[in-house]
Structure 1
Amino acid sequence: MATTLAFDVYGTLIDTHGVSLALQGMVGTRAAEFSRHWRDKQLEYSFRRGLMQHYASFATCTRDALEYTCESLGLPLDVEQRQLLLDAYRTLPAFDDVKRGLENSRAAGFRMFAFSNGAADAVDTLLETAGIRGFFDDVVSCDEVKSFKPNPGVYAHFLRRAATPGASAWLVSSNPFDVIGAMSAGMRAAWVRRSPQAVFDPWGIAPSVTVAELTTLAAAIGVAD
């Protein structure tokens, strides 16, 4: 069976800080700080909802995190500004290395899926807008099982949907929690270390491979296989 790649979307393929341009017109020099707080809180809310088994969509986590960030940083954006930011989140750009990296992975013969906390329709729109939807056999959403990464059940759901055993499947993610979650669920995983300052969690679980960008992913997995 061909090796299957499960690509995380937000933060791995798609630059979640792509809202910074819109933010600059609203909060000026605090745009990067705002974007970082918003992303951190978005993930925190998904973790908490998953643990509580009190599911709400990733879009709801994103909206609630935006509300929190405005209050936390003392930047009371109006309703129209907040909606503009939420709309921008649906059309975020891909990182510069993504298209060529996906081309390399497709040429290597891998089966390729987008695997995301986001709802399938939102992810489809995001990937279409970024011009990369055609690389993927399908979109697998955690929304289908009403939970979030790194719940072991969502990785098991991916393996069922992709009709592949864990030994033949790789998660590709820039998020250490996602890499550790997938490996704990029996998959292999590639960590995309997009910044030299990024630190992997010291849990005694190392990524199967680490790459600085997606252009070298296919070669790294080929060596590991």
Structure 2
Amino acid sequence: MTLAFDIYGTLINTSGVFDSIKKLIGEKVEGFNQLWRTKQLEYSFRRAAMNDYVDFSVCTKQALEYACLFYKVDLEEHQKASLMEEYKVLPAFDDVKKNLERLRSEGHQLYAFSNGSKEAIKGLLINAGLVDHFDGMISVEEQQVFKPSPIVYQHVLDVTSSIKETTYLISSNPFDVLGAKAFGLQSIWVQRSKESILDPWEYQPNRIISTLSGLTFTK
């Protein structure tokens, strides 16, 4: 099987900046952190609809600015810069490394597939000690459009020389899972939080798992 893993929120924990934000703004941290991530994705959707691609880090920075405005938090520029730098070295979830090792040993092809730039993907994977577990890295920057555009899922097939029937998109992001499924790929939703809800669309993933330990394939 060819397995394309989303990075942000699936392998890498985007809440890794939680403690740093809490030190800066205190009790507003939970809502602030959630809004930052929500707006980051919303801005990528808007950019895709507008055909106005920018590096994903621009969406991240502008989303941070929005969260500051919404919560009336007056962070200094060096504090914002520090949070942005920390976003480059977010930690992996605890279940990731051992299961990537297992899947590689089972003979699957593993690819990192992200809205982030190749430079950002590589930095995150190196920091988390995961880079050697992948056969390659695929960034949407190569097509200049964000997920869930069908263009980027076709790009996965082109890069990996694989076919839809044996190519799986593994992601914790419902829009990504459903986008891949609508395109014709196989998809698996990693429900990282019990509170997460999968959109009730006509497209549904092949499977739902709570951790990567549930990512198994029959031979």
Task: Name the TM tier (shorter chain).
Answer: over 0.9
Letter in 2 for 1:145: Q
Tell me the distance in 2 between the aligned counterparts of 1:70 and 1:197: 25
| Runs of 4+ that moved beyond 4 A | none
Shift of 1:109: 1.1
Tell me the distance in 1 between the aligned counterparts of 2:193 and 2:121: 24
Which residue number in structure 1 is paired with residue 99 of structure 2?
101
Letter in 2 for 1:161: V
Which residue number in structure 2 is paired with residue 168 of structure 1?
166
Which residue number in structure 1 is paired with residue 51 of structure 2?
53
Tell me the distance in 2 between the aligned counterparts of 1:93 and 1:28: 22
Letter in 2 for 1:213: T
Which residue number in structure 1 is paired with residue 192 of structure 2?
194
Tell me the distance in 2 between the aligned counterparts of 1:131 and 1:33: 30
Tell me the distance in 2 between the aligned counterparts of 1:90 and 1:193: 23
Which residue number in structure 2 is paired with residue 73 of structure 1?
71
Tell me the distance in 2 between the aligned counterparts of 1:123 and 1:34: 24
Tell me the distance in 1 between the aligned counterparts of 2:206 and 2:17: 31
SS in 1 for 2:194: coil
Letter in 1 for 2:94: D
Which residue number in structure 2 is paired with residue 143 of structure 1?
141
Shift of 1:9: 0.1
Letter in 1 for 2:176: D
Report matched runs for 1:174-213 at 5 Å: 174-213=172-211
SS in 2 for 1:109: coil
**Unpaired stretches in structure 2, ≥5 consecutive residues:** none
Tell me the distance in 2 between the aligned counterparts of 1:204 and 1:118: 28
SS in 2 for 1:126: helix
Q: Give the paired residue count.
A: 219
Letter in 1 for 2:88: R
Shift of 1:104: 1.8
SS in 1 for 2:89: coil
Deviations 1:188-225 (A, max 9, x none): 001001112211100022210111101221x2xx14x7
Which residue number in structure 1 is paired with residue 30 of structure 2?
32
Tell me the distance in 1 between the aligned counterparts of 2:71 and 2:103: 41
SS in 2 for 1:112: strand
Identity of aligned residues (%): 43
Tell me the distance in 2 between the aligned counterparts of 1:206 and 1:108: 26
* Contact 1:101–1:216, Cα closer than 8 Å, also in 2: no
Which residue number in structure 2 is paired with residue 88 of structure 1?
86
Which residue number in structure 1 is paired with residue 11 of structure 2?
13
Tell me the distance in 2 between the aligned counterparts of 1:207 and 1:157: 20
Which residue number in structure 1 is paired with residue 39 of structure 2?
41
* Contact 1:5–1:110, Cα closer than 8 Å, also in 2: yes
Which residue number in structure 2 is paired with residue 110 of structure 1?
108
Shift of 1:64: 0.7
Q: What TM-score results when the alignment is normalised by the length of structure 1?
A: 0.95
Which residue number in structure 1 is paired with residue 2 of structure 2?
4
SS in 2 for 1:5: strand
Letter in 1 for 2:21: L
Shift of 1:76: 1.2
